[in-house]
Structure 1
Amino acid sequence: MPELAGIHHIKIPVTDLVRSIRWYREVLGFRPTMQFWDSDGVVRGTAGELPGLSPALLGLRENPLAAQGCKGFDPVSLGARDRDHLEQWSAHLDTHGVAHSPIIDASAGWLLVFNDPDGLELHLYTWAEHGADTADRPGYATPIENPDDWLPKR
């Protein structure tokens, strides 16, 4: 099997492209570099750079139905170095009036949760691990002993 070459882009559905561009620019440093217009000539999408995501791109695509369907879901976790880095992010989100969770002991590392303007749940998850045992917590990850043959029990 050929190996994947990383993540090319992440596409997020939004209800209001202009509002979302402003929010992602202000809160996450998004820099649009491409635009996508529909057959009616209206721009309904953009893609560009998100600091720390390179070479992958972030895409925002106006699709109100998909955005509503994703509300409260967390399709992607963006990386943070460690707990101190999440403290910096917490302060940054506070500065921009973005409500967020406290720093959480997640399955392996620490986690900070907040929502974009459409209610999509965004996660900042640390690469550094905390070492806490979370195996008895529902919804938290536990190791799979034989990944090649594993399927969930129903």
Structure 2
Amino acid sequence: MTSTPGPVVTTGVSHVRLTVRDLTTSRRFYDALFGWDVAVELPADADDATRERLWFLFGGIIYSTPFGLLGLRPVAAAHDSFSEDRVGLDHLSFAVADRAALDGAVEVLDSLGAPHEGVKDAGGLWILEFRDPDGIALELAAPRG
């Protein structure tokens, strides 16, 4: 009798990478909204050995976030667009401490000219839905309480 292997035990999120159309535009948005430190990027004066060592960036950058790493990979065609109704990502939700953090995020999104929904009651959470410059569906979520 053969047995089925047990489940894979995970310890958290290692990284998420988003495919974007234009790194400059996306980076401006993510820098202004979240202010995360950059973990890895190709130096402007990189030699061939450095470029080969950092091949996994695909011309993008990787941020260090509270949940792990988030990368921006600028390889999408200029006419491409995100849709949560296709196979793949529906949305990405980031946790924030409380409702006040969501209200502050509304101000930041407004200052960036980023369209967003108002803060909504989603049962046990308050959520704020918005999109990045490529239309990728993002959300901030805070516990109710």
- The reply to whether TM is greater than 0.5 is yes
**Counterpart position of 1:83:** 99
The answer to which structure, 1 or 2, has the higher relative contact order (CA under 8 A, 6+ apart) is 2
Equivalent residue, structure 2, for 1:121: 137
Cα deviation, 1:24-62, whole Å, max 9, x if unaligned, reads 111221332213668xx8952210223xx24x0110011
User: Aligned-residue CA RMSD in angstroms?
Assistant: 2.7
Q: How many angstroms apart in 1 are the aligned matches of 2:23 and 2:15?
A: 17
What's the counterpart of residue 63 of structure 1? 75
Of all paired residues, the percent bearing the same amino acid is 28
Aligned pairs (5 A) from 1:1-154 = 1-35=7-41, 44-50=59-65, 53-54=66-67, 56-64=68-76, 68=80, 70-72=82-84, 74-126=90-142, 128-129=143-144
Q: Is the 8 A contact 1:11 1:59 kept in 2?
A: yes
What secondary structure sits across from 1:68 in the alignment? coil
Is the 1:12–1:59 Cα contact (8 Å) retained in structure 2? yes
Secondary structure at the counterpart of residue 59 of structure 2: strand
Number of residue pairs the alignment of both structures matches? 123
1:69 shift after superposition = 5.5
1:16 is displaced (CA, Å) by: 0.8
The amino acid that maps onto 1:59 is: G
Question: Is there any run of 5+ residues in structure 2 with no aligned partner, and where?
Answer: 1-6, 43-50
TM-score, normalised to structure 1, is 0.67
Q: Give the Cα–Cα distance (whole angstroms) in 2 for the partners of residues 30 and 80 of structure 1.
A: 14
CA contact (8 A) 2:22 2:74 kept: yes
